[in-house]
Amino acid sequence: MASKQNSSQMILVVTIVVAIVLIAIIWPLSMMGKGSASSGSGDDAESRIMPVARVEMQKVVVKSDGKPRTGEAVYNAVCTACHAAGVAGAPKTGDKAAWAPRIATGAAALLASVTNGKNAMPPRGGGADLTDAELKAAVDYLTGKAK
């Protein structure tokens, strides 16, 4: 009973966080659209979203002049949001019991889950601009904490 209540509270928190992020992205876009006669084509919308999305990411992920970020840096910027506290059913960082059956499926399977997304975890763990190598380093870092 208590744990059921807990997880619905967590889902509520995640929903609110997602809503805030969406508002932060959509609000400046609606401001931008006011000046120009918008054609409303899909390509146009994408090109307007891209720079905003990139700025949003760079606020969180510190990219050091094109060098790949370490697994630890990626974890601290992106993955910690869910895995530190075990939000929405995420296996908690360092929780050996929670990680053991997942680690047993193999590094390739885990990387595939993160790349494609799994249940509450978005594709690339939400870090849309992460390279494959950075993603793999983050998975290694995260699973390494539970070995």
Q: CB-based contacts of 62: which residues, under 8 Å, 6+ apart? A: 69, 73, 77
Out of 10, 73, 82, 93, which residue is the one contacting ligand HEC (CB under 6 A)? 82
User: Does 73 help bind ligand HEC (rule: CB under 6 A)?
Assistant: no
Out of 73, 76, 90, 93, which residue is the one contacting ligand HEC (CB under 6 A)? 90
CB of 30 to ligand HEC, least distance (A): 25
How far is it, in rounded angstroms, from Cα 133 to Cα 128? 13
Out of 10, 69, 76, 79, which residue is the one contacting ligand HEC (CB under 6 A)? 79
User: Does 136 help bind ligand HEC (rule: CB under 6 A)?
Assistant: no
User: Does 114 help bind ligand HEC (rule: CB under 6 A)?
Assistant: yes
Out of 92, 102, 115, 145, which residue is the one contacting ligand HEC (CB under 6 A)? 102
Which stretch, 29-37, 41-49, 50-58, 71-79, contacts ligand HEC (CB under 6 A)?
A: 71-79
Nearer CB in complex with ligand HEC: 32/85: 85
3-class SS letters over the chain: CHHHHHHHHHHHHHHHHHHHHHHHHHHHHHHHHHHCCCCCCHHHHHHHHHHHHHHHHHHHCCCCCCCCCCHHHHHHHHHHHHHCCCHHHCCCCCCHHHHHHHHCCCHHHHHHHHHHCECCECHHHHCCCCCHHHHHHHHHHHHHCCC
- Binding positions for ligand HEC, rule: CB under 6 A: 74, 78-79, 81-83, 87-91, 102, 109-110, 113-114, 118-122, 125-127, 135, 138-139, 142
